[in-house]
Structure 1
Amino acid sequence: MNPTESLLQQAARWHAIASGRNLSVDESASLDHWLAQNPRHRLAYADICAAAFALEQSPAAAAQPVARPAARSAARTFLRWSLAAAPLLVLALVVAGPRVVPTWQNLNSDLYTEIGKPQQRTLSDGSVLQLDTDSAVRVSMRDDRRDIELVRGRLSIAVAKDPARPLHVTSGGVDAMAVGTRFVVDRSDSGTGVGVHEGIVRVAAGKGEPVELSAGQHAFVASGADQASLGRRANLEEGWTGGVLSVEQVPLAEVLAELDRYLPERIILSNDAEAARPITASLPLDDPAAALHVLAQTAQLKLRHIPRVAYIMR
């Protein structure tokens, strides 16, 4: 980058380099280095990306080609943005930077995974724990019970049978208890879900009555709630443990939320009318970007990749 350029000009130049093609290894490393130098770099890059996207959506852009942001002055860029993109200002807030690495959670956890890197561990009691992408747990083994706290993300566990030491998976105010079985627990901002694939799991929350789930049953406890509601949820299936997201008649918005977990960039569905579109597909989680492209083709939607910021489907 030219040191005499303004921050917005540098960001616009990077956007021009990254748009429309795959970056080389050296270019990718240079962009990552530039973004990491200062939070202001990430904000400027997000501003330029959001402005370019907004201009593409404007009626004027549809009528005639629009030059890349690198060719415009910063003032002209923001003038056009303000005129053409008022409804999309929220996009700039959403994509104002990459995902925040939860360093503090990782340091205070016994096991954690990075984005796109699930892993499997055999615990000291013989139970097999699988941590999904971007997940963290704390583990405690005592003489009278076994405890796993799901700090964030999702896990699947095949519990080694030990009637004298029940295993508890806790997530917020939810406690899922089993003696010997296989089940999934998913934690999000909206609440905690539990899906049972073998045996029986007792789910308790707050002062509510515990619910016993058997194989094939799913339950969800909303944040702050005391009672679980039954119902099937895509994120409580086991396909992800084998690297596949299999869905049948699941709303597009939910499928995108699942793929979003595996990518460093955010996925944004800009067409709200498509959110409820039912999707049936088997998508590879080891290459979520490719899966996203397949999904866009299946749904006959356009996909735009803004490197280091977002995938926008419309």
Structure 2
Amino acid sequence: MERNRDQPDLSNNPRDAALAWFVRMESGDADAADRRAFHAWLARDPAHRREYDRLAGLWGDLDRVADPRKDRRAVTTRRRFLAFGAVGGAAACAAALGGVVVLTGWPGDLKTGIGERRTVALDDGSVLTLDADSALSVEFTARERHVRLTGGRAHFVTAPDPDRPFVVTCANGRVTTANASFVVHRCLDSVVVAVEAGTTSLATGTEPPLSVTAGQSRSYGPDGPGPLLSQGVAVENAWRHGRLVFQGQPLDAVIADLNRYHPSRIVLWDRPLAGLRFDGSVDISRPDAALNAILRTLPLRTLRPVPGLIIIRSV
């Protein structure tokens, strides 16, 4: 008696059925019954073979895949931003950026798309740069300047205001400063705060506030703050210089960062793959090459069943 298992969707749409069969046959889990049913489906209609061959043609060595953003390079160049050094004043940084959008008295939401970064000068003289596929909201009151990061990553250069602290909230944490340059990064299961210049105060849940100063970084999550780190600032700022840097990061976190730049959605087929660790630096202007660099160091292969979707599975 053959075991009971889910069968691919054999809808009236040959393309949908071909996708379901392609995923099943490339999964490594197909058994003899699957193979018999698959060959019977192929023989049933010439359209089935055409659609399946079309999908199979999408499989290939990533080294041969042209960078899909090549035709958009001019657009990407126009979106590049100056990297800030030590903070000599947010107003000076805003002036140096020249083409930065100035939002006077602006409340509300700011979002970026896949591969898009955006720099905004606020009406208090502070400057923020939003990483790709990120989102935040801004609300200034008479008592504080409040930014809520709801996804992705952002770099902040705050202008001094003795009457209104600058506050960034993300998940269960609150970063407060009078004048600093820092990054807040919302990861899969944690948030990282990395300070370039100045001093910030990090409060999480009911824990007492902790100081994070220039050259330091600290992560926090549902269980509270992690240890103070002295090497995370450069890593968390690398995206502003066109790179993503990973130091022993789990694969699911690496893919989450790369997904903000890659034109295709990348997903992990096998849950255990999430825990694989990756060390390296990749060029975010060439997202397919960046993915290939990751794959070269780990026992992985890709499945591209349809345009716009990349499945990573074990070899």
TM-score of the aligned structures, taking structure 2 as reference length: 0.64
* Structure 1 Cα separation of the partners of residues 146 and 140 of structure 2: 6
TM-score of the aligned structures, taking structure 1 as reference length: 0.64
- Change in 2 beyond 3 A, CA 1:257/1:208: same
Structure 2 counterpart of 1:53: 26
Amino acid at match of 2:206: K
- Tell me the CA shift for residue 139 of structure 1: 0.8
* Structure 2 Cα separation of the partners of residues 242 and 169 of structure 1: 23
Q: Give the 5 Å matches for 1:217-228.
A: 217-223=216-222, 225=223, 227-228=224-225
Residue from 14, 31, 39 that aligns with 1:9: 14
* Structure 2 Cα separation of the partners of residues 167 and 113 of structure 1: 22
- Change in 2 beyond 3 A, CA 1:168/1:273: closer
- Tell me the CA shift for residue 236 of structure 1: 6.5
Instruction: Write the deviation string for residues 133-173 of structure 1: whole angstroms up to 9, x where unpaired.
Output: 22111112234321111122221111122233210001233
- Please tell me whether the aligned partners of residues 235 and 244 of structure 2 are also in contact (alpha carbons under 8 angstroms): no
Q: Provide structure 2 residue ranges, at least 5 long, that are not aligned to the other structure.
A: 1-9, 49-106
- Tell me the CA shift for residue 190 of structure 1: 2.6
RMSD: 3.6
Query: Is residue 71 of structure 1 aligned with residue 35 of structure 2?
Result: no
- Please tell me whether the aligned partners of residues 193 and 219 of structure 2 are also in contact (alpha carbons under 8 angstroms): yes
- Tell me the CA shift for residue 6 of structure 1: 4.1
- Please tell me whether the aligned partners of residues 168 and 176 of structure 2 are also in contact (alpha carbons under 8 angstroms): yes
- Please tell me whether the aligned partners of residues 251 and 273 of structure 2 are also in contact (alpha carbons under 8 angstroms): no
Query: Is residue 192 of structure 1 aligned with residue 165 of structure 2?
Result: no
- Please tell me whether the aligned partners of residues 177 and 203 of structure 1 are also in contact (alpha carbons under 8 angstroms): yes
- Please tell me whether the aligned partners of residues 135 and 149 of structure 2 are also in contact (alpha carbons under 8 angstroms): yes
- Tell me the CA shift for residue 119 of structure 1: 1.5
Q: Alignment partner of 2:176: what SS?
A: strand
Q: Alignment partner of 2:304: what SS?
A: strand
* Structure 1 Cα separation of the partners of residues 303 and 282 of structure 2: 19
- Change in 2 beyond 3 A, CA 1:173/1:235: farther
Q: Give the 5 Å matches for 1:190-269.
A: 190-223=189-222, 225=223, 227-232=224-229, 237-263=236-262, 264-268=264-268
* Structure 2 Cα separation of the partners of residues 243 and 69 of structure 1: 49
* Structure 2 Cα separation of the partners of residues 69 and 197 of structure 1: 62
Q: Percent identity?
A: 28
Structure 2 counterpart of 1:84: none
- Change in 2 beyond 3 A, CA 1:68/1:138: farther
* Number of matched pairs: 240
- Change in 2 beyond 3 A, CA 1:219/1:161: same
- Change in 2 beyond 3 A, CA 1:274/1:172: closer
**Structure with more contact order per residue of length (Cα contacts < 8 Å, sep ≥ 6):** 2
* Structure 2 Cα separation of the partners of residues 238 and 69 of structure 1: 54
Q: Provide structure 1 residue ranges, at least 5 long, that are not aligned to the other structure.
A: 16-46, 78-107
- Change in 2 beyond 3 A, CA 1:124/1:295: same
- Tell me the CA shift for residue 12 of structure 1: 3.7
- Please tell me whether the aligned partners of residues 8 and 48 of structure 1 are also in contact (alpha carbons under 8 angstroms): no
- Please tell me whether the aligned partners of residues 12 and 70 of structure 1 are also in contact (alpha carbons under 8 angstroms): no
Structure 2 counterpart of 1:156: 155
Of the structure 1 ranges 241-250 and 287-296, higher mean CA displacement relative to structure 2 is found in: 241-250
* Structure 2 Cα separation of the partners of residues 229 and 72 of structure 1: 58
Q: Alignment partner of 1:140: what SS?
A: strand
